[in-house]
């Protein structure tokens, strides 16, 4: 019975983790820009009771949910970093164990 196959290219996995963190920052900045634009719109261009009572809270919930979802990218990036570190450490330990047996 064949066991699992592991193929880890540490540089690629680490680069993807960094790329995801950069995307996270960019996407959060975009959400924050949209928050400011909508707040300005409600303050200056869409100043109705419904805008303040219904639309503003709706958009706030949307933006909060989007930011929370986007924050998941940090967890994914951290996981990828752990994979790279763990497999690198495992490989080093296996190499050391082999040296002791030879």
Whole-structure pTM value: 0.78
Identify the helix (H) or strand (E) that includes residue 3: none
What gap in Å lies between CA 76 and CA 6, rounded to an integer? 19
pLDDT digits (tens, 9 = 90+) for 43-101: 999 999 988 899 999 999 999 999 999 999 999 999 999 999 999 999 899 889 877 76
Higher pLDDT, 1 or 34: 34
């Amino acid at each position: 019975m064949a066991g699992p196959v592991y193929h880890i290219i540490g540089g690629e996995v680490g680069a993807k983790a960094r790329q995801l963190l950069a995307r996270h920052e960019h996407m959060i900045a975009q959400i924050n820009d949209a928050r400011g634009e909508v707040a300005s719109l409600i303050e200056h261009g869409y100043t109705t009771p419904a805008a303040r009572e219904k639309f503003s809270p709706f958009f706030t919930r949307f933006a909060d949910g989007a930011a929370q979802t986007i924050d998941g990218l940090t967890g994914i990036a951290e996981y990828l970093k752990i994979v790279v570190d763990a497999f690198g450490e495992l490989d080093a330990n296996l190499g050391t164990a082999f040296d002791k047996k030879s």
